[in-house]
Structures are given as structure tokens and as C-alpha cells.
Amino acid sequence: MQGSANLNVMIKAARMAGRSLVKDFREVENLQVSRKGAGDFVSKADIAAEKIVYDILTEARPTYGWVGEESKAKDGQDPTRRWIVDPLDGTTNFLHGLPHWCISIALEHKGEIVSGVIFDAAKDEMYWAEKGSGAWMNESRIRVSGRTRLNEALVGGGVPGSGRGVLPRVLKDLAKVMPEVAGMRATGSAALDLAYVASGRFDGYWEHRLNSWDLAAGLVLVREAGGFVDTVRAGGNPVEAGSIICGNEAIFEKLAKLVRAD
């Protein structure tokens, strides 16, 4: 595997955190039947995974800034670079013993995501990309799908759980999109949804109200795989806006037209 020194550190951190999470994941099924449940255990697993990633990245690059889901953001001595990390994307899946979750690590340089790693530890699938170097899954180059017809497209999207006020908007989106596509999937992991677009498993994807760590690594993956990415309201920065539409060129244009229609 060829990559920059930064990318190699990111992959090392993802693998180490993944090893820890896989070990904890094996305990979840047993915890489901306890009175207390698995929630506290999974929270500890999440925090432990972030510490592993933080320790490895900051030891290698002590001057970089940091944004992580489970910890306070930190400015680095180098104001142009920061890590953006989700140590466990798909926590609800993990909590329920569903093997669809990942570690997501991105490197931002001067406001642009230049490297990304998404590790599906349960399936041993390591997605990675660097600006200008293409997108990969393990040792294989990946590309967005070649489908052009919306009625043949499989698309991903987010369906919010309790307490998230975006549900009415999502239901409107679904009413517009679902009659036009071959199928729609809500997998519970935004990062893996983006990796699936990059690898051609999904033809398109959209979601509202994401955090920077949910989508940062996936952005560079999709772009380096030949995909198109934008915010739901056209022309924004997905990391800042927290919304995204992506896909191959043809599906992106058709999906965006549907989602953006009043």
C-alpha cells in the first residue's frame, strides 16, 4: 500500500482502534440481555477507541489540531491542519450487535479535506484516499458506479431517530426520491454510506444534519473515486453545513434535482 506518511499514520490508528472495538463488539450480544443493557459499555468502548486514535495521531503529529466526537476540540500549533475523527460511526448499530459501523479519520489542510480513512473493522474493509491519488479499498482501486438511470440506482440516506427535528424534511425527501429509484437504504452509518458511494455499492446518497466527523473522510473518498459532492443547498461546504448530496455525475444531478425541489 503506497501512501503518504500522514496516511500511513491514519491507517495505523484506524486499525488499532478497530481491533479494540471488535473485541468490545463481541461482548455486546451478552450485554443485551442484562438489565442494565449495553449502553454504558458501548459509550466506554467509543471513548477508548477515540483515545487510541488520539494518542497515535498526536504522537506522530503533535502540532496538528483535533476535532473528535467524544472529546473537546483542540487548536494546534499548526493552524492550517487538523484531524477530524469519529471513533465509532454507527453507534446504534454497534449497540444492537449489528456489524455495520466504522472508524472515520480525516485530515483537513487549509479548510480542505486532503486525506481520509474509513475502516469497517467488522468486515476488514479499509477505505482510504488522498487528494490526487485516487480512492482505494484495501489493495484495490475503487470508482463510483457507472449507472445513469435513476430507476436503476440504489441510493443511501439518513432516517433520523427520536429527538431529531429534521424528520419532517426527510419524509418529504423520501416521498420524492423513493418512487424514482430502484431502492433506498438507511444503514445507520454516514461514513460507510459515503464509502459505499465511492466503491460503487451505492449510486448516490444524501443526508441532513450531519457533524463534520460523520462525513469528512468520506468527502475525499467520493471525490477521488470520481464522484460529485455538494451540500443540500447548492454551493456550500458539506463539512461546515452538515448536509450532503453525492453520487456519480448522472445520478448526482438527478438526485439533487429531486431533493432540492420544493
> Residue 52's pLDDT is what?
97
Beta bridge partners of 115: 107, 130
Q: Which residues have C-beta within 8 Å of that of residue 34, sequence separation ≥ 6?
A: none
Annotated binding residues, written as ranges, equal 69, 86, 88-89, 214
State pTM to two decimals. Answer: 0.94
Residues 154, 112 share a domain:
no
Q: How many domains does the chain have?
A: 2
Q: What is the DSSP string of 137-202?
A: ETTEEE-------GGG-EEEE----TT-TTHHHHHHHHHHHGGGSSEEE--S-HHHHHHHHHTTSS
How many CA atoms are closer than 13 Å to the CA of 6, on its beta-carbon side? 20
The boundaries of the domain holding residue 71 are 5-142
Same domain membership, residue 71 and residue 168:
no
Residue 240 burial (CB < 10 Å; 0-12/13-18/19+)? exposed
pLDDT digits (tens, 9 = 90+) for 168-209: 899 999 999 999 999 999 999 999 999 999 999 999 999 999
CATH classification at residue 250: 3.40.190.80
Point out the domain boundary residue: 117, 142, 167.
142
Q: Which of 79, 112, 142 is at the close of a domain?
A: 142
Residue-wise pLDDT for 210-235, tens only, equals 999 999 999 999 999 999 999 999 99
Domain match, 160 and 80 both: no
Residue numbers belonging to the annotated binding site for Mg(2+): 69, 86, 88-89, 214
Shared domain for 163 and 110, answered yes or no, is no
